[in-house]
Structure 1
């Protein structure tokens, strides 16, 4: 093996630097072995990461068992839940690029030979995969896993039940003490939120891409099986190093197609539309909304996972996990794609089977004939918008209503709470895109409040921002071009008629081209909300949502 780390620790001229590492407790024997970076996003702030120290230790044990020397460092990790509904959410999506850069800088500065990525939650996993593509050294990921199913008074509950119950509290239908008990019951263990929300969507996508070992996407956080898998991950990354297998060999276009099909079959979070193009770009691959749309038409939805149904990720794990979903998709999956096991998808699937046909439906009897995610285009979204059809009632496939226009999520949520939103309205929340926000905030507080008010199936919510993987209802996001770019959403006025047709996959404002052009001539961009700090930079250089809302280093 040709080891990059020899430039740091080998030869007499490197003795001062190897002595630095010996001051950390490393021995000559350890420094003579391949040096493997372990990038861990452990922190004490969110349940998705609180247990990652034990996973990291198991990974390091595996690396040592296979003849390598692990060296751990930490990355930042923001919990979306704690950032909901306030200014903090502006910082969450932009943190993705910071995490990517932090891993790149650390690994390149020390010239590590291989890399293991340990993460959980929404932006950390795509950031780490972006770093894997950018660095292109032998790399594997292991994710933190979902928490266990929560129960309260004998009923299954999820964190979104708490947000949606806030309206019951305001109406006097629930005591504050009861809401507190519900809230505390809804997070029962360490791990990511238990539905197919963004964290678990990206964990499953990472497995389908081949960048984790089978099982990583679904094994619950607190199970010993996850520690076993962590050790196997450490052992396996050493095999990838010996064989010279790199992320570019694994994350091919065929692998991205496999991952998108799995996301469609699961009814995953709309945030995969942001993250997969950004990951692919690091490998000089183009994954656009047209590809998502084409695959959505030809991939059946096989699962009813929360928030699009009664099942949760631990149920999916017991049913066979991501591997069983890929098996059931059959010839829609490219079986020759190489994976982090060092084997192909087809070889990984040998001997696998679906263990619960109600959790993973047979392809011949799917939940729906098309995927649980869709791309809409039209006069309101010329470059596209995205929607999670898996969480929309079949009776809401065509929706036409009058626009209620808001310049922020706070204003929209306030209108719901004050009773100013009526059935048939189309809530338009704009200037929340990557540049206009800046930071492209999630609209979970608004969508959950709508559902809590009993309006989730009677009111549409459309935005150039994005939605949490927990959002459900007629929620259409990522409208491109965004308002800050002068996209048509910036031209919508109170009372305009907006038409949503999920069958035709269109999103239109019912105005003539002449009227739209007249409004465009009169439109003036508002001053930027933030001009300083990292968000000020992000607002200037971030790509639009249809391009992944990524920071292109070539623009800096």
Structure 2
């Protein structure tokens, strides 16, 4: 039995205590006349009736008659539901999302509503990584949010099913749902299967990134080239998002903890029957949300975000979760800060042996019962709150109780993907919020303990990613020499778009330098990065942050226990350098990235664009 039985009443308590649009505002009947807010028949067309009922909106109705969804006058009484597929067939994370959306749309139709499918842009981190195309990655999060908000707002949709796949997709669609605050839920496209070749199991896209560093380490021989090629050729065997606890799986898991997905959503692999079955269940779930007018802001509460942060720490999730959860919280009017993450990290251990630092992938989490059994384990041990409302209309605790009744609890004897709380990989969280004279506005470190808990070394500065890659290719990074690589002018404005440094960290790991080289940046790290990594350094170099003043040979000290990041240069010397510093010209002067540079906030505020 669960340790907090209060959750069994939670859905009713949470629902009855909130302000409901259906009870606080007058509704209209199908003729456009005022109707009693307490009428027995639920209002399904709460938003769409703005264009389907008034005689003054005849042109709107004429155009809707021409759509697939409207076949009779009675159809205008139905809920009109948007089905947003973040679809792009040139990326394994997203190539199947059009088909998933069609399955979801059918379930919506079968549930007596009208489904209208539309697409949004999606940028593949894995494909753009290491190139200037990576500047569009984080920017795509806000573009996705804008597109979903625009489609739903412009067409008066009554609800939404959003279907993301790649890293920035999940926060993008959740931000849109938060802004709109209309009934909606998320269906994650699912994780990819692991690849394998020549006896090397559990390959994934990070294996492909690291293969080049290993090729360099192995002397660029014919054998090394064959191994590199085979790894690249077999790392990604089909559709689905990158397989480890990288950003996509981190954010999908967080969304489930937030209550914005159906149970099990985040751990059903893309090609498994359960993912397609989940699509078939979306229609009834959305109908319930629309009938009861359960809204994203009823679900994504402060407590729900605390649950999501706890799960992220437990799983060893991506540093990007800090950026994204802060931005999602902003969309629902909740002030989440980097300090909140440190507070959770101080009290929650890291217990999941998942890639990138571990050996297992998300498919293995599915095999041991999925994210719900992990959440149930955390609830039993009072690390999360089971009384938060979810898109099922029930509380998180009620959902978890039902799941373990059907699937069983998390076993601590038959699996080692998730360790017992009393035998953690690290006794505190792996995400550390560092502050000091190098990052007075904060920085986010990903320290699992395997790479040590502190690092002191000589700075080696690079203003471009390519310059660092060239230095590694020339063998300038040496084993036994403690080096702190400083990658700068890569922040939200300087990048632009805060590109991820997976290529550099993969070169470091592949070349066997993980204990000799720490990597600091005002950009980001992929969820696939591991080693001694500190990103999100704020203020960034582009606006004159201290990271812009670092010189080769400076001593940098990082302590991930005391949460300090220190440039060991006197304040007098720093002031002298500050006076001599001149800002770099922006890398863009027009187009979508230029607009992004002008609007984006700093990393510690989630890189939001609507503040």
TM-score range relative to shorter protein:
over 0.9
Query: After superposition, what is the alpha-carbon deviation per residue over 1:208-235, rounded to whole angstroms, capped at 9, x for unaligned?
Result: 1100011111110001111111121222
Tell me the equivalent position of 1:295. 344
Q: How far 1:290 sits from its partner (Å)?
A: 0.4
1:216 to 255, 259, 265: 265
1:262 to 311, 323, 344: 311
CA distance in 2, matches of 1:512, 1:383: 19
Tell me the equivalent position of 1:313. 362
Query: After superposition, what is the alpha-carbon deviation per residue over 1:306-354, rounded to whole angstroms, capped at 9, x for unaligned?
Result: 0020111011112222222222223110111111111111111215211
Q: How far 1:30 sits from its partner (Å)?
A: 3.5
Residue 327 in 1 paired to residue 383 in 2? no
Q: How far 1:81 sits from its partner (Å)?
A: 0.9
Alignment of 1:91-102 (within 5 A): 91-102=136-147
Q: How far 1:18 sits from its partner (Å)?
A: 2.1
Alignment of 1:70-89 (within 5 A): 70-89=115-134
CA distance in 1, matches of 2:313, 2:117: 35
CA distance in 1, matches of 2:512, 2:338: 32
CA distance in 2, matches of 1:374, 1:176: 37
2:475 to 419, 422, 434: 419
CA distance in 1, matches of 2:213, 2:195: 21
1:35 to 80, 105, 110: 80
Query: After superposition, what is the alpha-carbon deviation per residue over 1:235-283, rounded to whole angstroms, capped at 9, x for unaligned?
Result: 2011011011000000001000000000000000110011011111111
CA distance in 1, matches of 2:558, 2:511: 22
Residue 148 in 1 paired to residue 198 in 2? no
Tell me the equivalent position of 1:384. 442
Tell me the equivalent position of 1:403. 459
Tell me the equivalent position of 1:59. 104
Give the conservation status (yes or no) of the 8 Å contact 1:54–1:227.
no
Tell me the equivalent position of 2:542. 484
Tell me the equivalent position of 1:205. 254
Which consecutive residues of structure 1, in runs of 5 or more, have no partner in the other structure? none
CA distance in 2, matches of 1:143, 1:225: 12
Partner SS, residue 138 of structure 2? coil
Which consecutive residues of structure 2, in runs of 5 or more, have no partner in the other structure? 1-42
Q: How far 1:479 sits from its partner (Å)?
A: 0.4
Q: How far 1:163 sits from its partner (Å)?
A: 2.0
Query: After superposition, what is the alpha-carbon deviation per residue over 1:392-440, rounded to whole angstroms, capped at 9, x for unaligned?
Result: 525x222110000110111111111111123311100111000111110
| TM-score, scaled to structure 1 | 0.96
Give the conservation status (yes or no) of the 8 Å contact 1:126–1:202.
yes
Q: How far 1:158 sits from its partner (Å)?
A: 2.0
Give the conservation status (yes or no) of the 8 Å contact 1:328–1:363.
no
Residue 236 in 1 paired to residue 292 in 2? no
Tell me the equivalent position of 2:399. 348
2:220 to 144, 154, 172: 172
CA distance in 2, matches of 1:159, 1:289: 29
Q: How far 1:169 sits from its partner (Å)?
A: 3.3
| TM-score, scaled to structure 2 | 0.88
Tell me the equivalent position of 2:46. 3
Residue 460 in 1 paired to residue 508 in 2? no
CA distance in 2, matches of 1:23, 1:304: 53
CA distance in 2, matches of 1:399, 1:465: 20
CA distance in 1, matches of 2:55, 2:513: 72
CA distance in 1, matches of 2:450, 2:54: 67
Q: How far 1:138 sits from its partner (Å)?
A: 0.3
CA distance in 2, matches of 1:167, 1:348: 45
Q: How far 1:357 sits from its partner (Å)?
A: 4.5
Give the conservation status (yes or no) of the 8 Å contact 2:447–2:533.
no
Give the conservation status (yes or no) of the 8 Å contact 1:417–1:449.
no
Partner SS, residue 331 of structure 1? coil
Tell me the equivalent position of 2:20. none
Give the conservation status (yes or no) of the 8 Å contact 2:102–2:117.
no
Tell me the equivalent position of 2:389. 338
2:605 to 532, 547, 550: 547
Residue 393 in 1 paired to residue 450 in 2? yes
Over the aligned positions, Cα root-mean-square deviation in angstroms equals: 1.5
Kindly tell me the number of residue pairs found equivalent between the two proteins.
Answer: 551
CA distance in 2, matches of 1:169, 1:361: 34
Partner SS, residue 294 of structure 2? coil
- Name which of structure 1's ranges 288-297 and 341-350 shifts more when overlaid on structure 2: 341-350
Partner SS, residue 187 of structure 2? strand
Give the conservation status (yes or no) of the 8 Å contact 1:63–1:234.
yes
